[in-house]
Amino acid sequence: MATVPEVFTPLCRCGLAPETVTHVVLRCPEEDAARAALESRLAPRRLPTAGIMLRWLLARHRLPEFRLAVEIGDEMRLEDNGDSAD
């Protein structure tokens, strides 16, 4: 089985289930408040857009296997703002 460095268990930090996208987005009790805020952003839409869902997941730092994507996104935002990470 492949593992992710620095991820020592597949369980969500709530301890109720594996930390999957489905669990975090739909069921994790630790995300109740954040989920309510997400639902209010999605309310005008019939179906959530993938972009909104992905940004929400990455901002929550709940899926550490995607930390490289977050780091790259942060670097790109710095470059777009004319800042330098150096």
With tokens 């989920």, the residue in question is 35
pLDDT, one tens digit per residue, over 69-79 is 778 878 888 88
The answer on pLDDT for 86 being more than 60 is no
- Using an 8 Å Cβ cutoff, are 70 and 63 in contact? no
Q: Is the dihedral of CA 66, 55, 50, 62 positive or negative?
A: positive
Coil, helix or strand at residue 9: coil
The predicted structure's pLDDT at residue 2: 58
Between 86 and 19, the more confident residue is: 19
Domain range list for the chain: 21-80
CB 31 within 8 A of CB 60: yes
Question: 3-class DSSP state for residue 30?
Answer: helix
pLDDT digits (tens, 9 = 90+) for 10-67: 889 899 999 888 898 889 999 999 988 888 877 776 666 777 887 788 888 777 777 7
